[in-house]
Amino acid sequence: MNKQIFRKAMSKFATGITVVTSEFDNDIQGMTVNAFMSVSLDPQLITISLDSKTNFHQNADKIKRFGVSILREEQQEISMIFAKQIEKEFKDFAELDGIPVIANALTTLACTVVNTVEAGDHLLIIAEVDEIEINEGNPILYYNSAYKRISDE
């Protein structure tokens, strides 16, 4: 099996889109992450997976707390900005428990890192959720290497 077949197979799993944000190097940093999941209810833990080529992976030792913003349908462009698919400056941040998050996201989480695990060419960051804000709306999805909406057929 080659990498392209593996990537195609994994694209058949529909995921939500998140933007992970933190503050380091005297600036708010962010990246689009679709490898996100809840891990535990007690304690309340989540994990994100960071590619070794990313700025977040390379600065993981500086990141003690971060935000996760689960994006809504209307926020596809924000995902594309933080995935570096379009070049545009983004400044519409809100704050949750002292952590920068995306304003008006479907859900935002403020998290504290509790563990990291090297896994192949990725770093898994396990974090405890300190604060949550939930809003109404529908999530933007990623399926078959493309953005989708719940209403899409």
Q: What does each C-alpha distance from 43 to 38, 51, 126, 134 come to in angstroms?
A: 11, 26, 11, 19
Q: How confident is the model at residue 57 (pLDDT cuts 50, 70, 90)?
A: confident
Question: Per the structure block, which two tokens stand in for 74?
Answer: 């209307």
Residue 139 DSSP class? B
- For the full predicted model, state whether its pTM sits above 0.75: yes
- Position 152 confidence tier, pLDDT thresholds 50, 70, 90: low
| Share of residues in the chain with pLDDT > 90 (%) | 80
CB distance 71 to 102 below 8 Å: yes
61, pLDDT greater than 80: yes
Rounded to whole angstroms, how far apart are CA atoms 133 and 8?
A: 34
Binned at pLDDT 50, 70 and 90, residue 82 comes out as very high
Q: Is the pLDDT of residue 54 over 90?
A: no
Q: How far apart are the C-alpha atoms of 7 and 111, rounded to whole Å? A: 29
| H or E element, residue 6 | helix 3-10
Backbone phi, psi, residue 101, to 5°: -140, 170
Q: For residue 132, which of 106, 111, 108, 112 has the smallest C-alpha distance?
A: 108
